[in-house]
Chains A and B, each alone.
Chain A
């Protein structure tokens, strides 16, 4: 992923050293094996393949994640959800976490990356 014009816009206006700004141009989608369950605080995301559960801890991040499928880039999703630019870094950090945990997948011509190994603790959803 290259650092893009839009990333530079972000850099100049908000957080010049933000580690996730390279994500802005990425095209992402929710893994088809992930379900979102609405909750008062936002949503739960459950990956049926890895048995991993994550918390989307604000309604805005839920809206952005849902919007990614229909957007060509993260920037477009953030804009179409009317997320103010000063808040973008925290959204990008959240998106980076969701990529790392295999909830979000890059849309590209490259072969998809192997699903990340889940650790034992993450798989233990049980009482």
Chain B
């Protein structure tokens, strides 16, 4: 998440910074992800939500509308809709149109399969709507190795439709892996071709990504390469996802903190509320929008979220001079590789996690839950490493 903090308005006491206030939590999230369905036509090998099959307990249309009403009352100005593939829901347009006409702006992420000309025209006529197309390789071979055969062509076709109807600057989003990190300039060219904005985010070992993270995550050398590239291109969006790289020196733009339960959270397709989009696991489930008191009660009162807003201990990072820069990194990444939450990030750029990871190698790690992968989903073999 990146917000305009370059020019803070007003004044604070000297001991209290904006970041401290963020850590203590806001009255409602700034950035809320809402996965509308676990159903997906693809079976990406790094899927954060282990999507595939629809969950029969999915929120109904009227429950979804009620969620929008509550978000509006809480003045959550903007939701990030995802899935699964959100466009699979038959009431997708109903929910999005209701939100965007009731002061809840929408950005949704799609693999593009269902974004035909008619859908593109409908989107182009809507206000307060942003679209993000996921592509995990600038070429079909690199993308399809992760997202499945034909998924690159489907995404390109969707972008052609958006371009043809003059939708405006949509976003192209990629998850950085060791196979596509060398293609970042090609991605920029692709985005420029479509008049799109490039958004680059971090691979998390969550969902099915927990199984593939060790083979997909960038190497230390590639992390440095990525950091230098991002510093050089501040116009590339990152969703604040690489704050662990700030330990290299100059901070990347953004809040540079873990927003889980403080400024960020996730509502899943059955209405369960998790601390962030990367920790769909019982341990980080704060409640449900179906509980008495709804989403607002969960956000304000849940024991989990209140504990995440307490000052956190630097733990094993206390003696590292970079803790102020990286804040110990990503909670979800630590959790799913089996580290303690106050251990260094598994991708700590100082290498501080490596002895810990070596010590726990082979031990059982938390099993992502729930898992909606299709039982028949075929694991896709990874292509050759591009170096």
A and B interact: yes
A35, A37, A52, A119 — which one has the most chain B CB atoms within 10 A of its CB? A37
CB distance from A18 to the nearest CB of B (A): 15
Q: Which of A97, A120, A121 lies in contact with B9, CB distance below 8 A?
A: A97
Beta-carbon contacts under 8 Å, B273-322 to A = 276-277
Interface string of A49-72 (1 = CB under 8 A from B): 001111111101110000000000
A48-B276 contact in complex given A37-B77, A55-B5, A127-B80, C-beta closer than 8 Å: no
Q: Which of B12, B18, B237, B264 lies in contact with A121, CB distance below 8 A?
A: B237
Q: Which of B4, B27, B103 lies in contact with A48, CB distance below 8 A?
A: B103
Beta-carbon contacts under 8 Å, B92-119 to A = 103, 105, 107
CB distance from B30 to the nearest CB of A (A): 7
Q: Is B31 an interface residue, CB under 8 A from the partner?
A: yes
Q: Is B78 an interface residue, CB under 8 A from the partner?
A: yes
Q: Is B382 an interface residue, CB under 8 A from the partner?
A: no
**What A residues does B276 contact at CB under 8 A?**
127
Q: Is B28 an interface residue, CB under 8 A from the partner?
A: yes
Beta-carbon contacts under 8 Å, A82-124 to B = 90, 94, 97-98, 100-101, 119-124
Number of interface residues of B (CB under 8 A): 46
Among listed A4-12, A22-30, A38-46, interface-contacting one = A38-46
Q: Is B239 an interface residue, CB under 8 A from the partner?
A: yes
Q: Which of A35, A37, A61, A101 lies in contact with B27, CB distance below 8 A?
A: A37
Query: Complex formed: what's the CA distance from A56 to B11 in Å?
Result: 8
**What A residues does B78 contact at CB under 8 A?**
46, 51, 125-126
Asked if A51 and B105 sit within 8 Å, CB to CB, the answer is yes
Query: Complex formed: what's the CA distance from A55 to B30 in Å?
Result: 11
CB distance from B126 to the nearest CB of A (A): 13
Q: Is B66 an interface residue, CB under 8 A from the partner?
A: no
CB distance from A15 to the nearest CB of B (A): 15
Interface size of A as a range = 35 or more
**What B residues does A53 contact at CB under 8 A?**
3-4, 30, 77
Query: Complex formed: what's the CA distance from A41 to B128 in Å?
Result: 27
Query: Complex formed: what's the CA distance from A46 to B27 in Å?
Result: 15
**What B residues does A60 contact at CB under 8 A?**
10
Interface string of B236-260 (1 = CB under 8 A from A): 1111110000000000011000010
Asked if B10 and A127 sit within 8 Å, CB to CB, the answer is no
Asked if A39 and B27 sit within 8 Å, CB to CB, the answer is yes
A97-B2 contact in complex given A44-B30, A51-B78, C-beta closer than 8 Å: no
Query: Complex formed: what's the CA distance from A86 to B183 in Å?
Result: 55
Query: Complex formed: what's the CA distance from A36 to B42 in Å?
Result: 40
Which 9 A-B residue pairs are closest in the complex by CB-CB distance? A57-B10, A37-B75, A61-B10, A124-B237, A46-B77, A58-B10, A94-B9, A120-B235, A124-B2
The 10 listed contacts between A and B (C-beta, < 8 Å) are: A53-B30, A56-B9, A90-B10, A94-B11, A120-B236, A121-B234, A125-B2, A125-B78, A126-B78, A127-B1
